[in-house]
Amino acid sequence: MKNRNIFRISDLSKEDIEEVFRTAARFKKEVREGNRKFQELKEKTVLNLFFENSTRTRTSFELAGKRLGADVINISIATSSLKKGESLMDTAKTLDAMHVDTYIIRHSAAGAPQLFSKYVRGNVINAGDGACEHPTQALLDAFTMVEQKGTLKDLNVAIIGDILHSRVARSNIHLLNKMGANVTLVGPNTLLPKSFESFGVKVTNNIDSVIESVDVLNMLRVQMERQNDSFFPTLKEYSELYGLNSKRLEKTKKDVVIMHPGPMNRGVEIGFEAADCNRQFILEQVENGVAIRMALLYLTLN
């Protein structure tokens, strides 16, 4: 995987994904044992360029780079020359002149990481582009599923909520399909067009038809910031029809794995009881996010 750009899940083969998981498992174990400083990337520079807000992805890439010994720089978009009108192309050329090895990019426009990569010599990793893809989130989600269930093969995974605006859903669908899981998408028609069936997944509007049988429930955030139209009447109705409330929680399999990429809208897509129950692995996902990003930086730079 050396010097590889990672824009989409399609940039990774099944073997690449398995290698990322093996490497992440090794780093996770080391970090848990207290080894938090490695030297593998000590002459490398990683640059975080986030045009959209982030807590988990930006911090975990920063931690991942620092734990591997790299210099990590966070560009503040608000105080950068982008605010004076400098284009993405000229920003890329400027940063390239400073010999950066890897760029981590989040942008509201689909395809922005690919565009950026045309003007730099370093690798680019997509940290979320519009509603298109968020490949590192899908890797950490799938890694969490493998840890809890042993394999993705034939695992029954429901992805529930605002599918339309979700780059997490798209990357999850592609990765889970590649690894042989059975994916069902659940949401209101307005947030889950029938066209998603072309991805080779099941599509339903009825959460109660899947709640008792699935192995994994991945609850997605309702993305208010991407919604210009009204996709459902009220948040209360959305929550009643599609939220993981305590009544639905009772019906799940005893060994169900409850996930959420964060940030959560508690009381909307996930109730307080589900968000804090002993079947949720939401903070495990966060921990795995650091390990997965360490693995990706290590494999693409070392």
Active site residues: 56-57, 84, 106, 134
CA–CA dist 103, 204 (Å, integer): 38
For residue 108, state whether it binds ligand CP (rule: CB under 6 A).
no
Residue selected from 69, 188, 262, 267 as contacting ligand CP according to rule CB under 6 A: 262
Q: Are 31 and 39 in contact (CB under 8 A)?
A: no
Least distance (Å) between residue 160 CB and ligand CP: 16
Least distance (Å) between residue 43 CB and ligand CP: 27
Q: Which stretch binds ligand CP (CB under 6 A): 2-10, 222-230, 241-249, 257-265?
A: 257-265
Least distance (Å) between residue 154 CB and ligand CP: 26
Residues between 121 and 140 that touch ligand CP (CB under 6 A):
128, 137
Q: Which is nearer to ligand CP, 124 or 211 (CB)?
A: 124
Q: Which is nearer to ligand CP, 107 or 203 (CB)?
A: 107
For residue 57, state whether it binds ligand CP (rule: CB under 6 A).
yes
> Which residues 6+ apart lie within 8 Å of 114 measured at CB?
5, 7, 124
What is the token pair recorded at 60? 């975990």
List the end-to-end C-alpha distance of the chain, in Å, as a whole number. 9
Q: Which is nearer to ligand CP, 277 or 286 (CB)?
A: 286
Question: Number of C-alpha atoms within 13 angstroms, CB side, residue 18?
Answer: 10
> Which residues 6+ apart lie within 8 Å of 43 measured at CB?
none
DSSP-assigned states of every residue in 118-132? TT-SSEEEEEEETTT
Mapped onto helix, strand or coil, the DSSP state of residue 156 is strand
CA–CA dist 120, 137 (Å, integer): 24
Number of H helices, E strands in the chain: 10, 9
Q: Which stretch binds ligand CP (CB under 6 A): 145-153, 181-189, 208-216, 259-267?
A: 259-267
Q: Which stretch binds ligand CP (CB under 6 A): 27-35, 171-179, 189-197, 256-264?
A: 256-264
For residue 54, state whether it binds ligand CP (rule: CB under 6 A).
yes
Q: Which residues bind ligand CP (CB under 6 A)?
A: 54-57, 128, 137, 261-263
